[in-house]
Structure 1
């Protein structure tokens, strides 16, 4: 491409692939052009990409319908070719496409929350994230038999885990059966420490490559919490105690659970850690970064990464969350400073 313009993309910043979210290859290419080289008329985009004008216009119409680009109409003798097309920032675009995919998956799998919006099913709306966390803490304290959790996100931050992990640990120590279904963790996930303790205490975890239709928690099959928007908890949460509705959500969870895979049970052999592996795992369990762990152990960050990669290969797992589950299930590692029954439990999101 002849980059005559300056776009909104920072140097070295990756452009997300929109095809994975259902966008056509032409639309993906046109979006990349606009994001990289800045706002342009459709004719210039066609020249940049070497595509026919009709293909570019069709791609722009698709992007506009998906709210991925904006257009500034400029009346002139050249008609539509004079309009200026502008790409929205990548983070906003990905969030828009994720929500669109969530809505489609929800309708297809029975996880749609529209009946609650229309008032067809009795439910109480928790207005924001903080109300959700407080209610989770209250319901978790009463839980005695079973906890079901469906998590469509692929990364959890330190703040969320600090609030949620004590609730999980306390429930497991009371004998509550805990089943969590999630997508495979993505880069940036900080839950490896919790995975070790969760697996060691008998928590059940499965992963699925399929998109999950809802962010859902079910407490003792009595009460369910269903996010209005799983990617924006500040939009609120539905609390449902209607028996028929809760039963249908249990069946939704069971259907996806049956298609999930437990990464810690994939033929994991007995294992004895070397002294270096023990030291690395201990720091990992405490939530240290690679750089901080390497500094404490007097080794390079690259050597520490190789040590973890070799350990993951020995256990047949793909990421650090799975590694934590496997080590916890084998009682090979226990997080330093793991919460005890007497620890204060703050309301959090799980």
Structure 2
């Protein structure tokens, strides 16, 4: 892999954090034996061997037969090129999504809301117009914000864009509830974590019939075309139609699961992760934390990178938000509020 090229997250494709760390070590430093990996990563030889076996099974690493460890005759391992590895992992992980069937269900739902004279709605012409109108309505929202989401992952950029508005709603005491579908192939932040950042109550369903937003049970906003959000959104304020959509949401809510409690394991931190996060929260740099713990600065960076990938975030700021929102770690003592 060329120097400076992005290293894919193997955790997002179902491999363990140890395997991800081992792959990153191989990419950064070239072929390594399991013993060298164990020393680099400050893990046991057994864990290093398990990581290598996992990489080999996934096609992410292969042995160098001509470069054995002279003492134990153990082979060195080289990483697969990301350009070849990621497409293969995607093929293994990705499921078949029936977009046509989803679009038909969405349109049937809209048809049920339309009386003989057609759907009574204001057509918001495009995505930008929709966003402006949502901001206007949300500014006077009083008590409840319902969302049905069809996205299986959210990019960090999408999460960051939604944070200010959602935080304003939470600060005003508006209850946020969302129903969504199980996360997809890992290219982004899972819905259960992105919603956790702002404290939205979230439930997961095997599938949902439409993308939808309902504000204070008086205005509903479904997209015109679920496969093309640039086609705009319907703004519906007819009480009967809005009531039907609220009933749909409540049905999904009553049958959904809470993945943060039962469907998806909570974020479990290892003792090392807890100590490192505690030191960094108390003001240590990577260098001073490494000296305090008697480990390398590289191990600090590897540990945090593996944790970010496991949680599904791309930087330390997002990691702090997610861990704080899910209460995986307590807030640092002595840190200023706000």
Q: TM-score range by the shorter chain?
A: 0.5 to 0.7
* Preserved contact between residue 179 and residue 203 of structure 2 (Cα < 8 Å): yes
Offset of residue 188 of structure 1? 2.1
* Counterpart position of 1:51: none
Q: CA RMSD in A?
A: 4.3
Change (3 A) 1:242 1:297: farther
Q: Is the Cα–Cα contact under 8 Å of residues 154 and 194 in structure 2 kept in the other structure?
A: no
1:137 aligns with 2:135: yes
Pair 1:128-2:126 in alignment = yes
User: 1:328 offset after TM fit, Å?
Assistant: 1.5
Report Cα offsets for 1:14-47 as digits up to 9, x if no partner.
Answer: 48589954xxxxxxxxxxxxxxxxxxxxxxxxxx
- 3-state SS in 1 of match to 2:221: strand
Residues in 2 aligned to 1:174 and 1:307: alpha-carbon distance in whole angstroms: 33
**How far apart, in 2, do the equivalents of 1:233 and 1:279 lie?**
44
What secondary structure sits across from 2:109 in the alignment? Answer: coil
CA contact (8 A) 2:189 2:312 kept: no
* Residue number in structure 1 paired with 2:102: 102
Match of 1:243 among 230, 239, 245: 239
- After superposition, residues 25-104 of structure 1 pair within 5 angstroms as 98-104=98-104
Deviation of residue 303 (structure 1)?
3.9
Structure 2: 5+ residue runs without aligned partners? 1-82, 283-295, 333-337
CA distance in 1, matches of 2:180, 2:258: 11
Shift of 1:275: 2.1
Cα distance between partner residues in 1 of 2:222 and 2:177: 16
Alpha-carbon distance in 2 for matches of 1:327, 1:130? 32
Shift of 1:280: 8.4
The Cα shift of 1:153 comes to: 0.9
The match for 2:7 is none
Separation of aligned partners in 2, 1:100 and 1:106? 10
Q: The residue matched to 2:161 in structure 1 has which SS? A: helix
- TM-score w.r.t. structure 2 length? 0.54
Structure-2 separation of matches of 1:329 and 1:18: 26
1:170-220 deviations in whole A, cap 9, x for unaligned? 101111011011123331224788545323xxx211122x22111100000
Maintained 8 Å contact 1:116/1:123: no
Deviation at 1:300, TM superposition (A): 7.2
Is the CA contact (8 Å cut-off) linking 1:154 and 1:183 kept in structure 2? yes
What's 2:180 paired with?
182
Aligned residues: 226
- TM-score of the two chains, using structure 1 as the length reference: 0.52
Distance 2:115 2:98 in 1: 20
Aligned mates of 1:255, 1:174 — CA distance in 2: 27
**Local SS of the residue matching 2:165:** helix
Determine the C-alpha separation between the residues in 1 that align with 2:111 and 2:281. 41
The more displaced of 138-147 and 271-280 is 271-280
1:256 aligns with 2:280: no
Q: Distance in 1 between matches of 2:300 and 2:245?
A: 48
CA contact (8 A) 1:151 1:183 kept: yes
Matched with 1:33 is none
Deviations 1:130-174 (A, max 9, x none): 001001101111111100001101122243223211111110111
Distance 1:136 1:333 in 2: 34
What corresponds to 2:329 in structure 1?
332
Per-residue Cα deviation, 1:64-92 (whole angstroms, up to 9, x for no partner): xxxxxxxxxxxxxxxxxxxxxxxxxxxxx
Q: Partners in 2 of 1:308 and 1:160 — Cα distance?
A: 17
| Residues 328 and 334 in structure 1, CA contact (< 8 A), matched pair in contact too | no
